[in-house]
Chains A and B, each alone.
Chain A
Amino acid sequence: MTRNSSLSIKTQLVLTFIAISTIIIAAVTYFNFTSNVNQEKDSFIKNSIIQANLLSEFTVSALVFWDEEGAEENLEKLKNDKNILRAIIFDNEENLFAQYNPKNLQDIVPISEAAVYLDTQTDSFMDFGVLKISVPLKHKDKTYGILYVEKSTKLISNIVKKIFNEVIVFTLILFAVIYLVSIIFSNYFLKPILSLASTAQTIASTQDYATRVNYNSKNEIGSLYKAFNVLLKDTENLTNNLEKEVDIKTNELNLKTKELENSLANLKHTQQQLIESEKMSALGNLVSGIAHEVNTPLGNAITSSSIIQKESTSLFKEYEEGTLKRSTLDKKLTVLNESSTLLVKTLNYASELIRSFKQISVDQVTNDIRKFEIKEYIYEIFLTNHNKLKLVPANISIYGDDDIYIKNSPGVIGQIFNNLIQNSITHGFENFKGNARITVLLEVIKEDLIIEYSDNGKGIPQDLIGKVFEPFVTTKRNAGGTGLGLNIVYNLVSQKLQGKIQIQSQEDLGVKFIITMPLEYRKKEEK
């Protein structure tokens, strides 16, 4: 159980003390005040009844003997009582016989033989209204009339106000006394606890567990101090042991950290080496492919030039011997023309191949950023991989507008596509029986270029899809696969192209890579 309180224990104690005292004082004051008020009220009413009865005793004979003057003389004596508002004597026929009406009140008098009640017409505090008393004017058992008396209750109101003021003053003094007493008591009782708390706070901040507290008493607080000292001693021992243990563990941890740092550095180095070797391997493949590709047109060129040389030598010899016939000349010139045309064609093809190789190989080495036409560049990449693709054989389709230019690193694009093509050949089309097909779809959406690379090969098993971009994930480890191809692709897309790559695949239906990259490389983000 936890309690959140920002108040100090001393304040809480004082507040609790005051709260309890307030409730008790309020209850006592209320009952005392109410009791006093009722007592004063009852006393006033009783005295007034006695006064009215006494007056009736004195005035009854005046009524009996029709002595109005005597009756009024008796009533006049009431002027000494300032609370009397009026007093009236009625005979049995309810006729007014005599009255004392100093305030000349004119309202109707409720005549009844015997009644005592407070007529309160206002709800104001401490206003008890007018006391109305009717007393029968009797002698022995015979009633001769009624004495009606109206009395102001200001006397009670004044007494009650006085009591109220006294109660307020007394309560305030009591509160002040309670507050002082609670402060003194809380100081007295809480001093050792607060001192202990302060020491504990100091120890917590300084961590000086060698500190000890002193309290010369055998009560509960003394036990608390003793227990606190025991706790400090244990903590001191534990801290000392812990510090030693921590030192040992810290040293071990530093050692392990250093080892891990070295391992990480080695790993990074190895990864870089692998990336470089992958790049070199791709370059080697490129070179061997280009060499293979150039070999055919060069062979044709050599054949054509040999034919040209052979035919021109034969033509020159027959010309010198004078055996050259016109038909032979036509035939030889036709052969020469065809051979030279073939020679030019094959040499142009070889030249084109070398130009592509030159651009792609330079891009792969430099990774420079430049603006280029993407569709043509992808076509050239496929061209450099032609010797490998024709072994599958795979049909290549590239869809998209011819005028899509991007500003980025063509070398990175080449490296990505080389990996994807190699991936399709090695995994997708291994022992593939159908018509292998690689399709590239280019599309511009707002500021981004979407490249969809797909093959219709074997696809990737579902359990591997989530891990294909992780390093060293391969199904061809025994066959020489490093498991870095798609990891490199992932890193190149996300870090170099500032793009994203997604994979979709179903087994036996092929694989699709969707690359989303900005049309223009953003230098700021590179920072």
Chain B
Amino acid sequence: MILQSFPNAIPFHGLIGGLMIGLAAAVLLLGAGRVAGISGLFARASTLSKSGPPWALAFAFVLSMLAGALTIDWINDGVTAIYPSSTILLIIGGLLVGFGTRLGSGCTSGHGVCGMSRFSIRSLIATPVFIVAGIATVALMRVIGVTP
């Protein structure tokens, strides 16, 4: 499937991947009674969070994520991942993402997928806020001529 106006988009892969992510979150919710928020699970796995599932379970989740991605990487003979060439931008981005997701209690998965689908007021506010902040940041970087 190709979107005529957006030749770069991969809507079919996006939708299939999205359904898989939704299924992953549903399995965790209905099977273990937990929300699949990656920032929270990772914080737990790296012992930086007091709340959440037992450490071993969070750690197993993160390891399994890597295994899942690696499997697709093998099947597909590679998964495209074009990273910023600037180390300093990777570091600044990482610091802000780590701090911001803890302060704001979640990221794209916790707020964007699990919270919004539950009509949680906090997630319905946080998600558009981080998307608009992201759009403004990319626009600003464009204006001042910083490319990652």
A-B interaction: no
Name A's B-contacting residues (CB within 8 A). none
Name B's A-contacting residues (CB within 8 A). none
